[in-house]
Structure 1
Amino acid sequence: MTDKRPHHRTAAAQAYRPWYGLKIWKNARQTQLALQPLCERCLQSETVTEATVVNHRQPHKGDWSLFIDPDNHESLCAPHHDALVQKEEARGYAIGADIDGRPIDPLHPWSRS
């Protein structure tokens, strides 16, 4: 059976999607996972989970320098990448709170004055 749903990615996203197949990305991904083999979000809650995805801390949206910048790479498990990060990108701020219950992201609406 063929999936008849329209492609959910924007035209801009479809334009940079091939970057993920480039050798330079595959090497960057392998390097990141070798440097940090555990999910960085799970570690924040003291849970040890293997990272299988390299996320861009700041969405690159077609900006090559952000795409390839190792300081913009984050090791994640698939559940964190596929759920939490997608929600954060849609909202525009990181989800999470410090020990006092205050949002960790200064862009959170609660932090705005």
Structure 2
Amino acid sequence: MTRLKTLGNRVSTQSSALPVTQPGSWRTDKATSGQRGYTYAWQKASKAFLRQHPLCAMCERRGRVTAATLVDHVEAHRGDMTLFWDRTNWQPLCTPCHSSEKQREEAGRL
């Protein structure tokens, strides 16, 4: 089998500059998840919340029964730790709802 020689290694010719944030993102820093508040304390609190609220809130509104897999902030906290830890601002969501509907809603497309 002959080796394809015409293309060569094109990886080095590609730009490696990636944007720091997505267009429209509120975060302009490169803070880690822990620096943004998602610490071990958050992991424990969110797991306890999911034990108390095991069903996805968005699916329930549509009459579906789906297990929630993560805790979402109803109103984006944007670094406000008071809003981050306000449990009345939390809602249980399944991954598909969080990854699609919630993201569209936050981007203003819903």
Structure with higher helix content? 1
Q: How does 1:7-22 map to 2 (within 5 A)?
A: 7-8=20-21, 10-12=27-29, 14-15=30-31, 17-18=33-34, 19-20=37-38, 22=39
Distance 1:58 1:52 in 2: 18
Q: Is 1:16–1:62's contact at 8 Å kept on the other side of the alignment?
A: no
- Secondary structure of 2:103's counterpart equals helix
Q: TM-score, normalised by structure 2?
A: 0.70
Runs of 5+ unmatched residues, structure 2? 1-15
Distance 1:65 1:16, change over 3 A: farther
RCO higher in structure (CA 8 A, sep ≥6): 2
Q: Is 2:21–2:28's contact at 8 Å kept on the other side of the alignment?
A: no
Count of equivalent residues:
89
Distance 2:33 2:28 in 1: 10
The CA deviation at 1:23 is: 2.0
- Secondary structure of 2:71's counterpart equals strand
Q: Is 1:28–1:68's contact at 8 Å kept on the other side of the alignment?
A: no
Alignment RMSD: 2.2
Distance 2:41 2:87 in 1: 12
- Equivalent residue letter for 2:56: C
Q: How does 1:28-107 map to 2 (within 5 A)?
A: 28-91=45-108, 95=110
Larger Rg, first or second structure (1 or 2): 2
Runs of 5+ unmatched residues, structure 1? 96-113
What percent of counterpart residues are identical? 35
